[in-house]
Structure 1
Amino acid sequence: MKILVTGGAGFIGSAVVRQGIRRGHEIVNLDALTYAANLANVAPVSNAPGYAFEKVSITDRAGLDDVLARHRPDAVMHLAAESHVDRSIDGPAAFIETNVTGTYTLLEAARSYWTAEGKPESFRFHHISTDEVFGSLGPTGKFTEDTPYDPRSPYSASKASSDHLVRAWHETYGLPVVLTNCSNNYGPYHFPEKLIPVVILNALHGRAIPVYGAGENVRDWLYVEDHADALLLVLEQGVVGRSYNIGGENEARNIDLVRTICRLLDERRPHAAPHDRLVEFVTDRPGHDLRYAIDPSRIREELGWRPSVTLEEGLAKTVDWYLANEEWWRPLLTVAMERRGKAS
């Protein structure tokens, strides 16, 4: 299968690209290379005969039309998105432009291409989204595919909008789509502005580890390589028009997550004092959802998928990867700190 992956130089997109190539698919990686994208993320497969890269934005209709016409993919996997909640609070315009307008532009380009190809039944448009569109949970319960949408941040609202657009293009125009909503991802190649890489890198440098509020917010954590595996499975076997929730079945409070990472670093890079001494509780962000948790029953029962690692195992793999790949994160750390300063 030839797959066009949007955002393929990003964190999750690059995992899909790497796994797709390893599985024998041809991959066209389309990415605008904004600040969080990095072609080093796909360096392990960039010389593969089935790999191609196109520097094009999903808001560029002419560019999308050209790429689709030249490469003639069998499927589109749409992962390109602005995804950092804090940045969406500081500057929501970019999230509307990329996540809403960009998704609309990509849908129209894909529809035009699909129509020109004779509307093949085998074509798929796979839209990848987040569990944050469902809002916040209390101490109990889990998100299912039927949970009403209730986004609480500019980021989640923009992703909810994109989900609705994809469903509308299926219902109105018949575009063969599948959708997925995932829980929080973590793992190798994670841009160093998100929680887990921030904890690892701040601890290594002896800097304060910021934790919002009292660290009581709960997330379901999904190892990115497991997520990529699930996404390719949904593309290959998912039912057209259906959505699938993908979760790691690994709920943890933020403070417990942070302390686990610190313990793993204590074992690997011991200091005179434990790394968790660096934890610093900071003012909570506006609209911070209390808890996310996904019920992955549908993808487990219909497609036979479930995560391959526990949270402890995945965090150990992640810590080991960052310790072994300083040449990857060192230049990005400077970029992340500069952008953090501009946003403050």
Structure 2
Amino acid sequence: MRVLLTGSSGWLGRHLAPMLREAGHGVTGLDVAPGQETQEIGSVADRGVVDAVFARHGIEAVIHAGALHKPDIARFPRQAFVDVNVTGTLNLLEAAAAAGHDRFVFTSTTSLMITQTIRDETAEAAVWLDEESGPLEPRNIYGATKLAAEHLCRLFAADTPLACLVLRTARFFPEEDDTDRRLPGPNRKANEFLNRRLTVEDAARAHVLALEKAPALGFDCFVLSAPTPLRREEAAELKRDAPTVIARHFPDAPALYARAGWSLPPSIGRVYDASRAERVLGFRCATDYAAVLGALRDGCAMPFAHDADYASPVLAGRPR
């Protein structure tokens, strides 16, 4: 199948393109910035660019991973987010429907599920988040535009033969957290495998599977995160005393962290539940918190990427 992959120069795109080829697909990468996996330079916000790419490459399916992201809020005006994340998605959906496609995979984000109240973690118990969580009240323009794009996918799946799968990915970026530097990057990322992170490789594998499964599922939306070892009935204790809960599941975790000079999270305020993706889509992340502890135990490299110097390719071009 000839697949258009948007955001092909980005962190996900550069990992996803080779997996698509390994699965037997032809891949055309579209991005505003050059990259090893990018054949076409241009913005999805430009319908002329989208139509030209479809015509030149005989596109048969779309994986729309290109977007302006949360760190871009400091770099671009709100209108740019609407142009890229909303109008760009509409352009691709219309082109795909006009071409008679039967599948469209959209990379969304768990960020749109986080209200300001959830972000502030003022509740007495950890909040469990899955596909049924709501009401959805995104706290910034990034989340608001990604939610609008999800609604467009839903509309096209209802009104056309185009099956659309929405993948709400948890964190998989390699760079430092742009809002919290209290812990070293690798320590923070390791902690997040308990409740809100996955590897970029797992994110890419999920997209390949979604491309295969979309026609049979029609429209659906899935939270993607490493499987959490935590349980809903532990929600209050997680907020009050997360290390005790973690040690209950992983008795050697405190000693392993101490040896590494790391800190367990004192409190966990939210947990992403990706169990529906496993039940319905048939996808489960290969890397989980146990794998992180295994690497600490064996003195091996962490099973996730950390690059404090990583710079988004969007800085090399206009919004994609």
With the length of structure 2 as denominator, give the TM-score of the two structures: 0.69
Please tell me whether residue 111 in structure 1 is matched to residue 107 in structure 2: no
Report how far residue 14 of structure 1 moved: 1.9
| Structure 1 equivalent of residue 159 of structure 2 | 172
| Structure 2 equivalent of residue 162 of structure 1 | 149
* SS of match in other structure, 2:198: strand
* SS of match in other structure, 1:145: coil
Letter in 2 for 1:234: A
Residues 275 and 306 of structure 1: CA distance in aligned 2, closer, same or farther (over 3 Å): closer
Q: C-alpha distance in 2, partners of 1:54/1:90?
A: 24
Contact 2:3 2:26 in 1 (8 A): yes
| Structure 1 equivalent of residue 203 of structure 2 | 227
| Structure 1 equivalent of residue 5 of structure 2 | 5
Q: C-alpha distance in 2, partners of 1:39/1:291?
A: 37
Residues 55 and 184 of structure 1: CA distance in aligned 2, closer, same or farther (over 3 Å): same
Report how far residue 308 of structure 1 moved: 1.0
Q: C-alpha distance in 1, partners of 2:287/2:8?
A: 24
| Structure 2 equivalent of residue 61 of structure 1 | 47
Report how far residue 275 of structure 1 moved: 8.4
Letter in 1 for 2:218: V
Q: C-alpha distance in 1, partners of 2:292/2:96?
A: 35
Contact 1:7 1:29 in 2 (8 A): yes
* SS of match in other structure, 2:84: helix
Residues 158 and 89 of structure 1: CA distance in aligned 2, closer, same or farther (over 3 Å): farther
Report how far residue 126 of structure 1 moved: 0.9
Unaligned runs of 5+ in 1: 43-51, 268-273, 277-289, 324-328, 340-344
1:77-105 residue CA offsets vs partner (Å, 9 max, x unmatched): 00101112x44266442322211222122
Contact 1:221 1:251 in 2 (8 A): no
Matched ranges for 1:322-341 at <5 A? none
| Structure 1 equivalent of residue 18 of structure 2 | 18
Please tell me whether residue 185 in structure 1 is matched to residue 199 in structure 2: no
1:102-156 residue CA offsets vs partner (Å, 9 max, x unmatched): 21222222222x2xxxx35xx2111110112222445334222232322111211
Residues 319 and 100 of structure 1: CA distance in aligned 2, closer, same or farther (over 3 Å): same
| Structure 2 equivalent of residue 48 of structure 1 | none
1:296 to 274, 288, 304: 274
1:156-206 residue CA offsets vs partner (Å, 9 max, x unmatched): 1111111112212222344321211121114xxx3x45469x899x889xx
Q: C-alpha distance in 1, partners of 2:272/2:84?
A: 26
Matched ranges for 1:1-344 at <5 A? 1-33=1-33, 39=35, 42=37, 53-84=39-70, 86-88=71-73, 91-93=76-78, 94-112=80-98, 114=99, 119=100, 123-136=102-115, 137=118, 138=123, 139-148=125-134, 149-186=136-173, 190=174, 192=175, 194=177, 220-238=196-214, 239-250=217-228, 291-311=269-289, 313=291
Q: C-alpha distance in 2, partners of 1:321/1:135?
A: 24
Letter in 2 for 1:28: T
* SS of match in other structure, 2:94: helix
Residues 126 and 223 of structure 1: CA distance in aligned 2, closer, same or farther (over 3 Å): same
Q: C-alpha distance in 2, partners of 1:221/1:64?
A: 32
Contact 2:292 2:303 in 1 (8 A): no
Residues 65 and 87 of structure 1: CA distance in aligned 2, closer, same or farther (over 3 Å): closer
Residues 318 and 203 of structure 1: CA distance in aligned 2, closer, same or farther (over 3 Å): same
* SS of match in other structure, 1:59: coil
Unaligned runs of 5+ in 2: 231-237, 244-252, 316-320
Report how far residue 250 of structure 1 moved: 4.3
* SS of match in other structure, 1:106: helix
* SS of match in other structure, 2:271: coil
Q: C-alpha distance in 1, partners of 2:25/2:292?
A: 26
Q: C-alpha distance in 2, partners of 1:83/1:56?
A: 17
Residues 73 and 314 of structure 1: CA distance in aligned 2, closer, same or farther (over 3 Å): farther
Letter in 2 for 1:133: L
Residues 181 and 107 of structure 1: CA distance in aligned 2, closer, same or farther (over 3 Å): same
Alignment coverage as a number of residue pairs: 270
Residues 24 and 175 of structure 1: CA distance in aligned 2, closer, same or farther (over 3 Å): closer
Contact 1:89 1:153 in 2 (8 A): no
With the length of structure 1 as denominator, give the TM-score of the two structures: 0.65
Report how far residue 292 of structure 1 moved: 4.3
| Structure 1 equivalent of residue 318 of structure 2 | none
| Structure 1 equivalent of residue 250 of structure 2 | none
Residues 156 and 92 of structure 1: CA distance in aligned 2, closer, same or farther (over 3 Å): farther
Q: C-alpha distance in 1, partners of 2:133/2:158?
A: 20
* SS of match in other structure, 2:39: strand
